[in-house]
Structure 1
């Protein structure tokens, strides 16, 4: 439960940092006659540094989960090998006692089945966690990209309208000047 809270907290932190970055871009001074915006380089670099510091933590968590899966699989295999060797020894000692051999075989199979089930659960959990994390990150990136594209489109449309208005005003002034010149005698 605590890990889920930490992962959610980091996602919220990343989202917040991306939103702050977007606000900096939206609030930046617009460069006339271009789509460019002036922003405080240090402020943007600091936010990007924070994002870079948060993302690796999620990757380390995913790597830890995968390492734990490998460790559990190794332990399960070792336990299986140890149990199998124990069963073999018991079979040698009790070759004449068929019930004990059957019981040991059943016990070894139960341990093997349990170990395989646990290993499979750990592997599936690790895969699901990594898949969820990457899917969430992909969705977040797509959403932010879409928002940025809308912002860029709105910015460009505003620039075009302002340019068209300025052009129309200039054109009207020129026409008025031409008319005034022609009317001079």
Structure 2
């Protein structure tokens, strides 16, 4: 659900920038509601720790599974060792028990490796998606900031030129 929230917030930011109105005579510039965009960015910032927490929880679950698998393997080895010792007089039974224990250990190790790989891939994917979402949001913020600066500088220059023209007009009329 948090992933959808992050994507929804990014989509909303994108829509705000895309739907932004252009000032007269400046079609390549857009004006956005600064408070609205900042609110969306705050929401996005609040959602990202949820994604990171989910990835950390997954890693912790993987660690727990690996520890449990190791304990199970040790338990099975002890059990196999006890069974083997109790039947030491019969070499075929002993061989079969050791072989069974080896197979159980090999199967548990294979399963543990597979689960670790799946958990790592999922965590990597979740972190990559989070990184992409953060990067996209940062890029949009930088673009909005750049557009704001350009619009602000243009407006300031326009006001300076207007004041200069009024001053020259006043000097020419003798006021």
Give TM-score scaled by structure 2 length.
0.73
Q: Please, which of 35, 57, 62 is the counterpart of residue 39 of structure 1?
A: 35
Residue of structure 2 equivalent to 1:11: 3
* Structure 2 unmatched runs, 5+: 21-32
Q: Is the 8 A contact 1:73 1:119 kept in 2?
A: yes
Residue of structure 1 equivalent to 2:71: 78
CA RMSD in angstroms comes to: 3.3
Q: Please, which of 110, 113, 116 is the counterpart of residue 117 of structure 1?
A: 110
Residue of structure 2 equivalent to 1:91: 84
Aligned in 2, Cα 1:127/1:167: closer, same or farther, shift over 3 Å? same
Secondary structure at the residue paired with 1:95? coil
Aligned length: 162
Higher relative contact order (CA 8 A, sep 6+): 2
Shift of 1:118: 1.8
Residue of structure 2 equivalent to 1:167: 160
Aligned in 2, Cα 1:57/1:144: closer, same or farther, shift over 3 Å? closer
Paired with 1:140 and 1:82, the residues of 2 have a C-alpha distance of 45
Paired with 1:84 and 1:166, the residues of 2 have a C-alpha distance of 84
Paired with 2:8 and 2:84, the residues of 1 have a C-alpha distance of 64
Aligned in 2, Cα 1:121/1:178: closer, same or farther, shift over 3 Å? same
The CA deviation string for residues 71-120 of structure 1, in whole angstroms up to 9 with x for no partner, is 33233223322322232223223223222222211111111111112222
- For residues 101-116 of structure 1, the aligned pairs below 5 Å read 101-116=94-109
Give TM-score scaled by structure 1 length.
0.69
Residue of structure 2 equivalent to 1:136: 129
Shift of 1:49: 5.6
